[in-house]
A = this chain, B = another copy of it.
């Protein structure tokens, strides 16, 4: 139940590297026979440096193994090259994928990326949130649920911040902050229509948590399709993000043979549904159809392979970073942020209604 001795601490514990240790801009300057200012110019790729001088300095930097001190750069008011990602979760697919996208884009732009997980009850006040930010003081908040939204609200107006959010209600533009989202309402409708087209009388919905009190647009899309088709609109079943929570929420549902189609808020939930279905002796897709959202890497390999709405969270994350980058440096002229449209990937878990 407890830890083991698998630790190796043989290091000649050098004191944490203070002061005279690291080579500074000055040493490079002296070694190259120029002023520290010139070195600074070279580092930042600024103009007004003779090519030869630049080359010399570059060589010296290489030779001395010099690396600019980020803290000093930030303090001296250099360009912000750091983002902190605030998120309530790192395990759920959407969050993790968005984070990957952000990190990837940030790395390409030579930004440092920090990450801080938001506990449900923390980060209500500006200070709580700001304290989490690393040097640069620029942030991207993944706000798919309440905690993220609160953090977004708590961050002071004057900080460069972009939100990666749930699709807001139409015409209901969120607070005046740069934000990106995936338009999943139509995707939810499409998945629902697909099921209806297969002959199912109606479709039941297992929802992931929403960022607001009001129903998410994903749920709205499901209702839209149901209403448009004149199908009954069953109450939605609130669930969490995990297979376990999907399993729990679905147990009751699958016991009812009238239920022949279930739309799960994400693929992990769908895994739980698949499991519950099997335990209840329901055959998927013969007896019951299941569709998820995300198209996680596992989904194609499940038994049965899961039909799912592919959501490009990585692209969304990249776009979120792009937006922030533009905010920090309008001249960067980064490529316009784009990400894939949701796409319904048909696999084995959905099929014609029984009988």
Contacts and interface: CB of A to CB of B under 8 A. Distances in A.
Contacts of A104: 117
A75 B65 contact: no
A69 interface: yes
Interface string A13-47: 11011110100000000000000000000000000
A90 interface: yes
Contacts of A113: 114-116
Interface residues of A, number: 101
A53 interface: no
A127 B8 CA distance: 26
Interface stretch (A153-161, A198-206, A227-235): A153-161
A332 interface: no
Interface in A296-318: 297-298, 300-303, 305, 315
Contacts of A262: none
A51 interface: no
A134 B110 CA distance: 11
Interface in A59-100: 62, 65, 67, 69-72, 74-75, 77, 80, 82, 84, 90-91, 96, 99-100
Given A2-B338, A74-B135, A183-B6, A91 B82 contact: no
B242 A297 contact: yes
A197 interface: no
Nearest to A103: B117
Interface stretch (A173-181, A188-196, A207-215): A173-181
B10 A337 contact: no
A207 to B, nearest CB: 18
A77 B301 contact: no
Contact of A275 (B158, B174, B302): B302
Contacts of A16: 80, 138, 160, 327-328
A319 interface: yes
Given A14-B157, A301-B243, A340-B1, A323 B9 contact: yes
7 contacts: A2-B341, A7-B179, A7-B323, A75-B75, A96-B96, A112-B132, A275-B303
Interface of A: 1-4, 6-14, 16-19, 21, 62, 65, 67, 69-72, 74-75, 77, 80, 82, 84, 90-91, 96, 99-100, 103-104, 107, 110, 112-117, 126-127, 130-135, 137-138, 157-160, 167, 173-174, 176-183, 242-244, 246-247, 268, 271-272, 274-275, 278, 297-298, 300-303, 305, 315, 319, 323, 327-328, 330, 336-341
